[in-house]
Structure formats: structure tokens, C-alpha cells
Amino acid sequence: MTGSEIGIEQEYVADLYARVDAMRGVAAARLAARRAEGDREAVAVWQAEVARLDAVEEGLCFGRLDMHDGRRVYIGRLGLFRDEGDEPLLVDWRVPVAQVFYTATATAPHGVRRRRRITLRGRTVVAVNDELLDLNTAGDGGLVGEAALLASVTADRTGRMHDVVATLQAEQDQIIRYETSGVLVVQGGPGTGKTAVALHRVAYLLYTRPHLRTRGVLVVGPSQIFLDYIGQVLPGLGENSVVTATIADLVPGVEARRAEPSEAAELKGRAVMAERLAAAVRSRVRIPDEPVEVEFEQQALRLDQRVCGLAVQKARRTGLPHNQARLAFQQEIVDVLAGRLVEDMEAVVLTDTGEAIDGGSADGSLGESDLRALAAAGVVLGHDDHGGPRVLLDETDRAGLRDSLLADAGVQAVLDEVWPPLTPEQVVSDLLGEPADDWSAADIPLLDEAASLIGQGNDRAVFGHVVVDEAQELSEMDWRMLMRRCPTRSMTIVGDLAQTGNPAGTSSWDRVLRPHVQDRWQLIQLTVNYRTPAEIMAATADLLAAHHPTTPPPRSVRSTGETPWRIRTTHADLVVVIADLAATHTDGQLAIITPSVHIRPLAAALSLTSRPDLTDKVVLLTTDQVKGLEFDSVLIADPATILSATPLGHNDLYVAMTRATRSLGIVHPGPPPAELSTMRELHP
Ligand SMILES: Nc1ncnc2c1ncn2[C@@H]1O[C@H](COP(=O)(O)OP(=O)(O)OP(=O)(O)O)[C@@H](O)[C@H]1O
């Protein structure tokens, strides 16, 4: 590319930055003014605008389309216009016009003559690369802008994912812009860009469906480490309003600290637990076997089973959750009790000072002297059936009576015996026979289910769109909880059924989704692996064939010429061998992936803390923690234990083996697992 082309683009790009700077100046001034006025709503708006403008600084403009009709369209991170006009200087990548930047090919050019990629370092144009679509042949493997793509996927990893808006591929772009109001499932092998696609789709949806900004978007990921890893992608795309959470974070105030044995986790994850919880809550309502005496203001009231049963039935018919229906039940009973008291009272009249006025007959009729006393006491009089005077308690009096009954500790105790108030913790702990203060991740959806049965947590946030990453890990109970957070069932779900590690996770999208959305879900597959070189994928072939014989491996976009290797050692030497390999490692960032039994000794040998920092040169992680992450190089310690640790250990090993962008080594104490035996063995 000629220097003059770079010069031309430099001039154009400088103009774009000048415009953004001017917009920043305006936004900062408005923000300061609104702050001074104390207008909090407007402050939030302008803060978001300042953040949006800051986010576009890096790589503001990354492409140009020269169309056959002579138009020239610059593509970038936001739309910019010339002063006083609507002629676009820069087109936001999310608008329809920009789509052809990602999808045009020589065989389907969509009016594009030339696609230019502009590479910036800071505000300086360092390269421009052109593709002439009318001269190109289609034999490019389907990749768009291959050079820029390869530069991006081979660059050193930093422990933080970055956006790939400049190099999105056509199959990814199709998913990002996919129009559906239901559930979109993206299934794809390791490194196919599922996370990247999901996050860019969020940015796209927020741009094209502005109502989602107020209704909220939730991104669910498998671990806090993963959420940290992806944490910069959406802000980099100018989106700061998205909520990210792990499944366990969805129940506020409860921390999942306890590790759960896989068999128990599997059982707790089954949908049948919802029925068991519902039955447990239902069974807490107990109609007494015989009439119960209730004492109120020194009067003995009788609560018989029939009255109780009718009140329970009526309360259940409200369809309200347990604790709310309990109030309906109480109201019913108190109405009956109050009715009886009224009957009694009409026979014995009280003054407002609480003294009984004598002389009232059993049918409530009164003598002359009583009437005078009552009038003095301010009691309202009506007439009985024969026209005689009679004491009537008006509605206020009756309501007061019902309130007094409800507030009475003795009455409450009797009512609570029948229909007790419940907490989710109590229900789950009673059902499981486990303590109510030490929860595991598998308990969280049970607590949430119990809360919804009881009627607690109705104030929990719900979202207009929910994205689930590593969605294969969610149990049936997790799905129930998530669906409660997304009443519209507008979702983007990405995952890989060959990577399921959670024994309660899924091996079928249909099985987990159908109960919630019937057939309102669509599946799109991703097939190209942008992360893992062909050599590493070849090393996983036996493992994949043994456990997922019908799953085709994704096709790697590149090969490195570097063959993965394995080293045999002993159990006693494992830590030392790994530590030596880590000490001599020079090829970028290294992740050591190990079963949790080796974490402590390895952390000690490598002088690492137990909480991994993904930006370290060497990172030590368990198979659980490594989901969704990637590194330049990966060293796996003790694959046999990974395979045997859980029923889905083979999937965990597959995940571990597919994390590297460059090199993979495996250290196995004793003979290698059969699935790895054909890997090249090193004899150091
Ligand atoms: N179009 C693209 N341009 C540049 N890099 C890309 C592109 N698509 C994906 N990548 C990169 O490939 C890597 C793998 O992507 P990502 O993590 O989204 O894959 P994944 O399918 O979620 O993987 P896994 O299931 O193994 O966790 C990331 O570094 C991502 O940035």
C-alpha cells in the first residue's frame, strides 16, 4: 500500500477524531452543567454519553467500502455526521449499510468494489489493506479480511478479551444481526467465537432495540474469572449498562461457598426438584385433626376442621404464593372468628370504656336505661327485626375487631400452626436435610425456586434480554431460575454440548429449552475455530471421537507447524516437572490446567496465590475455572485425574486441551490415557 493512501486516510481519520473531541467537549460541559443543577437523571445521561465517546477512542474507524456506484462509506465504532447535515462521515458498524463490510465476497459483492481495512495505532493510521472484490476469486476459504483476522488471532493474549468488531466474519455477523424475538441458540466447538458473537450481539441489540436500555440486558457467564476476562468487551463497544453475573449471583445475599459432590449436584439440578419443593411447601399447610381452641380477650373461640379446610381451599384458589396465600387464609379465618364475636357482642354491649352494660337480652334487644347509657357512650344503635332498638357494630368496628384478632399473639400462633410463614432457606434446608447457612452453587436455583413458591424475591431484577455463555453448564433448575429473570423469553444462548462439565448440565438444547419456550427457539451452528491451531485440534481428535463420535470438530483457521506433546512422569515428580517447564517457558502467556488436588502444591511450587490473576505471565487454573478462557500456551497436569474426577471428565479434558492459541503440552504421571496415547511423546 502506498504511503499516499495512508496519508489520505490519516487526514480523514484526524478529521473524525477532531469531531469526536468536539462532541466530548460538549458532553463534558453539559455534564458539568447538569451536575451543578443537581439534575441526577440528566447527569446519568451525560455520564453515559461521555463513557460512550471515550470507548470509541481506540480503533475509531476500521474500514472503508468503495461501492460500484461511486459512494465511499467509512465504517467505525459510532456514527459521525458533517456539521449541519446528515451526510455521514463515519457509519456505525451496527447499521444496515455497514453489514456488507462483513459479508461481501467476490462471488456476492453486494455492490462493493473495494473493501479497505484501516489499522490504527492510537490516532495514527499504520496500515491500509485493500481487497478488490471484482478481481478476487472466491477461493479464499470463506474468510473475510484474512490478514487482519490472522493478525488478531495470533497476537499475544493479555488475559482480557477484546472486541473483534473490525474482523467479524460473515457467519458470525449473521448471528449478531439475527432477527428473532425468541431464543437463539448458538452451538459451536471450541474457539468458534461464541463468546465474541454473543457480546457483539448484545451491542447490536442495544443499538437496534433502544427499549432494551431501560428493560436491561443480563449476560450470564460460568465464573467470576470468566466475567473478568470478558469484562472489557462491551465497554469497548460503548456499552456500559449491561449486567454481568454468574448463575450463583442471581440470588442476592446468598453466597455459594461449598463445593458439591458431582452426584449430589446432578440430583439437585433436575427439574423434579421443583416438584419436590412445591410439594414440600404445600405440605407445610396442615389442617388440624381436631377442633382447636383459640383464646381471645378471655373468650374461648373454637376453630373446627371444616372452617379451617374451607379457608385453606379458598386461600389456595387465589393462586398466590405460599406467604401471600397465607394472608388470604388468615383473613378468611379471622372473618369467621370476628363474625362469631359480633354475634356474641350483640348480646353483651360494651361502652367505649370497655365496661359491660347490663340488661341486654340474649337476642340483643335493650331496655330504656341501657339505651340512654349507650347513647352517652356513643354506640350506634339500629333496629332489630321487630323494629326494636338493637346494637349494631358498624363496618369500622368489625374491621377493628378483625385487626385485633390478627394482631393477637395467641390467634397468630394457632393460625401459624395451620399455615406457617416460610423462608426459602428453611424450605430447602428441610427438604435436603442440610444446614441452612452453607450453600453450594447447586443450591442456588433451589433457593430461588423456593422463594418464588413462597412469594419472596418478587422484587428481583428481570431483564428484557438475557445472554447465557457456556450455557451447556446450566442445570434444569438453573434454567427455571433464569427464565424467571426473563419474562419475555428473549434470549441468546451460546455453548457447546461437547464441553459440558457440570454433571447437571445438558447434552440436549431441546430438552432444557422446550419446557420453557416450546419450539420458539432456533439453532445456529458456528464451524470455524479461530483460536486453536489445526495441530492442537488434531491432538484432541481421539478424545472427541471416543466421547462424541458424531460431533464434527470445528475447522481451524490456521496451523502453526507446532505439534502438541506429552511427557510421562511419576506422581512424585509431577509438581517438579511442571514447575521446571513453567520456569523455562518463553512462548507468551502460559496457563497450567490441573485437577483441584494439585492446586496447592503447584501454587506453592510456582509462588502463585490461590486466586488466579489472568493477567499474570503464568496462570494456574482448575478445569472448572478455565471454561471460556484462552491463553498463548497451555500445560495440562495429570490428564488421567481430570478424566476420572467427574462423570464428564472427558469434556473437561477437551476444554483444557482447546484453550491455547499456540502450544499445548501435557504431563501425565504413569501411562497416558488411551485418548492421548497417539500424541507425540517427549523424553526430556
Ligand atoms: N472474527 C474474529 N476476529 C478476530 N478474532 C476472533 C474472531 N472471532 C473469534 N475470535 C477470537 O477467537 C477466540 C475464540 O473466541 P471465543 O472465546 O468467542 O470462542 P468460543 O466459541 O466462545 O470458545 P469456547 O467455547 O472454547 O470457550 C477469541 O480470542 C476471539 O477474540
Strands lying side by side in the sheet with 88-92:
80-81, 88-92, 72-76, 61-67, 112-121, 124-132
The residue contributing the CA closest to ligand 1 atom 3 is 167
The residue contributing the CA closest to ligand 1 atom 8 is 193
The residue contributing the CA closest to ligand 1 atom 16 is 193
Query: Alpha carbon of 221 to those of 145, 199, 248: distances in Å?
Result: 30, 11, 10
The C-alpha cell that represents 303 in the structure block? 376453630
The C-alpha cell that represents 55 in the structure block? 470507548
The CA 493 to ligand 1 mean position distance, Å, reads 15
- CA atoms of 193 and 199, how far apart (whole Å): 10
pTM of this prediction? 0.88
The CA 660 to ligand 1 mean position distance, Å, reads 11
The CA 310 to ligand 1 mean position distance, Å, reads 60
DSSP class per residue in 175-234: HHT---SSEEEEEE-TTSSHHHHHHHHHHHHHHH-THHHHH-EEEEES-HHHHHHHTTHH
The CA 85 to ligand 1 mean position distance, Å, reads 39
Q: Where are the alpha helices (DSSP H) in 573-648?
A: 574-583, 599-606, 639-645
Pocket of ligand 1 (CB under 6 A): 149, 152-153, 161, 164, 167-169, 172, 188, 190-196, 496, 530-531, 628, 630, 658
* Top mutation candidate among 103, 153, 629 for ligand 1, by most atoms within 8 Å of CB: 153
Residue 365 DSSP code: B
The C-alpha cell that represents 422 in the structure block? 416460610
* Top mutation candidate among 154, 187, 192, 593 for ligand 1, by most atoms within 8 Å of CB: 192
The residue contributing the CA closest to ligand 1 atom 25 is 190
pLDDT confidence of residue 93 = 95
* Top mutation candidate among 531, 540, 634 for ligand 1, by most atoms within 8 Å of CB: 531
292-317 CB burial, b ≥16 within 10 A, e <16: bebebeeeebebeeebbeebbeebee
Q: Which residues are annotated as a binding site?
A: 188-195
The residue contributing the CA closest to ligand 1 atom 2 is 168
Query: ipTM of this model?
Result: 0.99
Strands 72-76 and 80-81: unpaired
Tens of pLDDT, residues 471-489: 999 999 999 999 999 999 9
Q: In three state form, how does the secondary structure of 64-116 look? A: EEEECCCCEEEEECCCEECCCCCCEEEEECCCHHHHHHHHCCCCCCCCEEEEE
The CA 2 to ligand 1 mean position distance, Å, reads 32
Contact 448, 457 (CB under 8 A): yes
The CA 91 to ligand 1 mean position distance, Å, reads 25
The CA 197 to ligand 1 mean position distance, Å, reads 8
- CA atoms of 460 and 30, how far apart (whole Å): 34
The residue contributing the CA closest to ligand 1 atom 24 is 190
The C-alpha cell that represents 34 in the structure block? 447538569
pLDDT confidence of residue 359 = 45
Contact 573, 598 (CB under 8 A): no
Segments of the chain scoring below 50 in pLDDT: 137-140, 350-352, 354, 358-364
pLDDT confidence of residue 151 = 79
Contact 243, 216 (CB under 8 A): yes
State which ligand 1 atom lies nearest to the alpha carbon of 526: 21
* Top mutation candidate among 160, 164, 202, 540 for ligand 1, by most atoms within 8 Å of CB: 164
- CA atoms of 189 and 191, how far apart (whole Å): 6
pLDDT confidence of residue 138 = 44
